[in-house]
Amino acid sequence: MAHDSPPAPAPAPRPTGLAKAAAYARLAKLDIIDYYLGLVLAWTLLAPAARFEPAVWAALVLLLVGEVCMVAAMTSFDDVTGLRDGSDAANYGPDAPRRKLARKPLIAGTLTEREAVRLGTAAAVAAALLWASAVWAAPHQPPWAAAGLALCLFFAVQYSWGLKISYRGGQEVFLVALGVGLLVAPYGLLSGTVHAFAVVQGVLFGLGPLLFGVYSNTNDIPGDARVGRRTVAVLASPRGNAAFVGAVSAAEALIIVGAAASGIAPWWFPLAMAPVIALRALQFTIGFLRHDILRARNLGIRVHRVSVALLAAANLAAPLVGGAGAAA
């Protein structure tokens, strides 16, 4: 006598209320603050007398909320693409227990693809409106700064959507360029100009997300390779990928030392940033010598935040301590 097959499990109920809001917050990655910290550096780069002007603070608030919306759009579309091509299922599946599935609400089933697209679209429109308002409210309106913000938003939306920059070999350059734009363009709106030390800090700031992104990419090689996401980690051999990460880490140290040697930064700048150089060496050791990639990735997030804190302290100290590179 044939046995009846067990009934299929009922689908998990969709969250409502606060649970739904929490799922949207995870989709928008509201807990990842790392790009927003560029505004802290832009503010500390200002001359002391300009830091408390009402127009400066009005522009900073609009820029910050606009950045939150930009990141929400970028991450929402990235998750939709990851759902469609299966890369998120591979990278956050049962074989990856250290990756929290709840951070991917589409894979976890707490949000639908349609809801994610709707959030991404609304967030992109909101970012454009907020940044246009920031340009209007800012103390200065140099056209290059407004154009820089527009480019940041355009390419952020295209990160895994439309042009799919991160799939076509441009991810690593994009991560650095976005950091540069999100520091230098706001600084231009707040000060009306830009100087070499601000650009140096923009590059160092952009290297932060890259130097935890490359460790994520190393962990995600199987899933990314399967869907054709052309990161350096996928395209290079294991030794070549390690050499690339090591070279980027060394480049960060060289930029710090070179900025002081060239007179762009104060002579004491490398001393102030020495903890970052030491922590990068530790991060590389954990990731590629001890082969604990996700631990190295998490350390990279903390190193980026330490770097921002030290850069901000250097900016605040520069007018007092003196030396080339003091904030203008």
Kindly give the residue spans of alpha helices, DSSP state H, lying in the chain.
17-27, 38-44, 54-85, 87-91, 105-108, 113-137, 143-157, 171-191, 196-219, 221-227, 232-235, 238-261, 269-272, 274-284, 293-321
- When pLDDT is cut at 50, 70 and 90, the band that residue 116 belongs to is very high
| pLDDT value of position 324 | 54
Question: pLDDT at position 104, please?
Answer: 85
Q: How far from the centroid of its chain's Cα atoms is residue 309's Cα?
A: 16
Position 13 confidence tier, pLDDT thresholds 50, 70, 90: low
Q: What is the pLDDT, as a whole number, of residue 94?
A: 55
State the pLDDT at residue 89: 76
Q: What is the pLDDT of residues 194-243, one digit of tens each?
A: 999 999 999 999 999 999 999 999 999 998 999 889 999 999 999 999 99
pTM over 0.75: yes
pLDDT higher at 92 or 56: 56
For residue 99, pLDDT beyond 70: no
Residue 39 is predicted with a pLDDT of: 98
pLDDT, the chain, mean: 91
Query: Is 10 a residue whose pLDDT tops 50?
Result: no
Which tokens belong to 248? Answer: 């980027």
> How many whole angstroms separate alpha carbon 165 and alpha carbon 109?
26
Place 139 in a pLDDT band, splitting at 50, 70 and 90: very high
Could you write out the DSSP letters of every residue in 238-297?
HHHHHHHHHHHHHHHHHHHHHHHHTTSS-TTHHHHTHHHHHHHHHHHIIIIIS--HHHHH
% of the chain residues with pLDDT over 90:
79
For the stretch 178-202, pLDDT in tens is 999 999 999 999 999 999 999 999 9
Compute the average pLDDT of residues 164-170.
93
193/265 Cα distance (integer angstroms): 17
pLDDT at residue 108 greater than cutoff 60: yes
Share of the chain above pLDDT 70, in %: 90
Handedness of CA 216, 221, 227, 231 (dihedral sign): positive
> Would you state the pLDDT for residue 101?
66
Q: Does residue 109 have a pLDDT over 90? A: no
> Residue 98's pLDDT is what?
53
Question: d(Cα 124, Cα 9) in Å, to the nearest integer?
Answer: 37
Q: Flag whether pLDDT at 8 surpasses 70.
A: no
Residue 43, CA distances (Å) to 126, 132, 217, 286, 311 in order: 23, 19, 32, 34, 11
Please tell me the distance from the alpha carbon of residue 81 to that of residue 90, in angstroms, as a whole number: 13
> Which pLDDT value is given to residue 5?
42
- The torsion defined by the Cα of 265, 271, 272 and 277, in degrees rounded to 10, comes to 100
What's the average model confidence in pLDDT over 247-268? 97
What confidence tier does 323 reach under pLDDT thresholds 50, 70, 90? Answer: low
Q: Which residue has the higher pLDDT, 20 or 51?
A: 51
Residue 17 has pLDDT above 90, yes or no: no
